[in-house]
Amino acid sequence: MDIKKTINGNEAVLTVTGWLDTQAAPELHTELENLEDGVEKLVLDLAGLEYISSSGVREVVAAYKKMNGALVVKNTSAGIMSIFKATGIDKKIKFE
């Protein structure tokens, strides 16, 4: 997995590519924990995400909680989106 972070004012964009699985989830967790003060909105760009495990889904939920709902997940493939729908997360988190 690879994560690229971009900060635009009070918005952070994390572009996640590869596999977000049990081995990679701690890396996303660390990025979330280390977000700069003043970040009010988080965008997860999953265009290059090929696979997500339950550990990865848990980190997306953690991001939602950390940002008090100010999270947008975008560019989600149909396969990855089906996992979010199966868990019901798509009803809480904003997807674009």
Residue 35 has pLDDT above 90, yes or no: yes
Tokens of 38: 């003043």
For the domain with range 40-96, which CATH number is right: 3.30.1330.10, 3.40.1350.10, 3.80.30.20, 3.30.750.24? 3.30.750.24
Nearest to 88 by CA among 46, 60, 47, 50: 60
Give the number of other Cβ atoms within 10 Å of residue 43's Cβ.
21
* Every domain of the chain and the residues it spans: 40-96
Of 23, 35, 22, 87, residue with least CA distance to 14:
35
pLDDT tens digits, one per residue of 54-72: 999 999 999 999 999 999 9
User: In the predicted model, is pLDDT for residue 37 greater than 90?
Assistant: no
Give the whole-angstrom CA distance, residue 68 versus residue 52: 22
